[in-house]
Chain A
């Protein structure tokens, strides 16, 4: 578009406006220092409120998991000792595991242990649940971070392209494509990719994590829905921002379109994108359960499904709490980041 072309090009006024503008788009670090320093006390209060909320949510999740796992119509002592155990052995095992104590006491010890990172032992494998999770978690983290990065890297240019060429062919192609990709069942596209790239072409391994190549398909599958949503958000966020007054100002002072879009428009368009990244991370973790199952990927999602199959409830419990904790922490970081990107959010609370 050509708003403001030819307005006072090269005059002193323009120089001053451009300089002002350079001042407003300083490095992120400098802006960070300025802004947080300026309203330091409000920020501390904001961070504390977010931390309290996060702790509250985690406590809620831990409690729900405690109740649900105890609703299971299976006796953990029987699961460990096996069908052949005598009643005396079972009773001894129950006392040993603390299952004979009142629920409230069990709940208290459970919460205290969970805070210390102790989720009890696996019924199936004789090792602490936390240790089993410790082996699986880094793999899932790697998978999630790579999927997130891939989604961001691909969605940003696509969304930008669609927004700049709105209602043109490029926009329609990107919008339709993202709609289709969003509707793709994750487990099914995983199977189709496996069929093509490992069974037919034999380019990529279909399961496990023995080589970096084994990461390619799980990362792509996990990132697809995320990528589609981010593309749509980037497009709509940019379109919304472009209609605002300060963009017209930027154009009116004769800035090249590149400068208008890049520091000005993108920065504000980032706000909804950051929120979506945070909100969708839960979906991403949920998707990891499915992706890991399809590709037999040794992560926490597959561990969860396997533990449910083998009724290894201590591990199930630990998996759910760890995934929820990861989700809550990421959401908290996103909220803090959001407050930084948009001072209005921070000051209104």
Chain B
């Protein structure tokens, strides 16, 4: 006599929740893998090719993707107007774009979070002044501010970072402030205060750790936007200086060869830019679902 099969109890709600968790995990892993791949390629590929931003080889200029070059190598994505292989050119551009993005987020993140915690913790006039300032800045298209400042400061990688940091701190300040406001009346903060914690301890030991999740989410979402903004500035000619490759400037360089003779120059860096921005966007959404369900994405 065989035992009756154990009845499998399926709770549809639990099942759905589990499937959602798996979905989030898959999104995080896949996007992180894509981002990691781009970062590694941006570092390694220009070195492998012995990339030289000023080298020119007019015989190999404007070769379509897949051509064999003079030195016997294959240009998988074609060559640019001065005969450079597009692959290392593009990856060197990605490297500049990623560095600008990371530096911008580091600067604007630290400043923004600091000011946001100050505003949220102390309230009063500090809060009023900082948030009015943020309102005024948000009442102004940030790309316009960036263009104007870049025009004044001149071209340069450092200037692009400064300009983008100035137009990005507001996002961090707002998120940090609203998180502090949500946390500051919770019991664990009350407990710390009762035990005699000073402002410094409350802000950086008690409140800051509670802000990490939303800040992480915002950082990820903003990364794609900052890379896009840098490319836009460089495309408009007010970003990185001539000679420094960037995804935006490479796309701009290809604009005048936009026909059968050179369609690949603008197209491939654009695809790479799209992939980077999209990966950070999806990662940001997934992290939000994972760490901050209250802010669940639309």
Contact = CB atoms under 8 A, between A and B. Distances in A.
Interface of A: 56-57, 60-61, 65, 68-69, 71-72, 179-180, 182-189, 191-192, 194-195, 199, 232-233, 235-236, 282-283, 285-287, 289-290, 293-294, 304-305, 308-309, 316, 320, 323-324, 327-328, 331
A57 B251 contact: no
Q: Main secondary structure on chain B at its contact with chain A?
A: helix
Interface in B221-273: 224, 228, 231-232, 235-238, 248, 251, 254-255, 258-260, 263, 266-267, 269-270, 273
A54 to B, nearest CB: 8
Contact of A192 (B135, B139, B142, B267): B267
A324 B140 contact: yes
Contacts of A191: 251, 254-255, 258, 266-267, 270
A162 B108 CA distance: 36
Interface in B29-60: none
Interface in B111-156: 135-136, 139-144, 147-149, 151-152
Nearest to B280: A183
Interface of B: 135-136, 139-144, 147-149, 151-152, 224, 228, 231-232, 235-238, 248, 251, 254-255, 258-260, 263, 266-267, 269-270, 273-274, 277-278, 281-282, 285, 298
A327 B136 CA distance: 12
Contacts of A308: 147-148, 151, 238
24 contacts: A57-B135, A179-B281, A180-B274, A183-B224, A183-B277, A185-B228, A185-B231, A188-B270, A188-B274, A191-B258, A192-B267, A195-B263, A283-B143, A286-B141, A286-B144, A289-B144, A305-B147, A308-B151, A316-B148, A324-B144, A327-B139, A327-B140, A328-B139, A331-B139
Contacts of B147: 289, 304-305, 308
Nearest to B237: A309
Contacts of A192: 266-267, 270
Contact of A323 (B144, B258, B259, B266): B144
A182 B298 contact: no
A199 B281 contact: no
B160 to A, nearest CB: 15
A283 B228 CA distance: 13
A324 B278 CA distance: 29
Q: Which 5 A-B residue pairings sit nearest by Cβ, starting from the closest?
A: A188-B270, A236-B298, A286-B143, A286-B141, A183-B278
A68 B148 contact: yes
Given A183-B277, A283-B143, 17 more contacts: A61-B140, A68-B148, A71-B152, A183-B228, A183-B281, A185-B231, A185-B251, A195-B267, A305-B147, A305-B236, A308-B148, A308-B151, A309-B237, A320-B148, A324-B140, A327-B139, A327-B140
Nearest to B153: A71
A72 B152 contact: yes
A210 to B, nearest CB: 19
A182 B274 CA distance: 10
A139 to B, nearest CB: 18
A324 B145 CA distance: 10
Nearest to B228: A185
A65 B263 CA distance: 39
A236 B141 CA distance: 25
Nearest to A188: B270
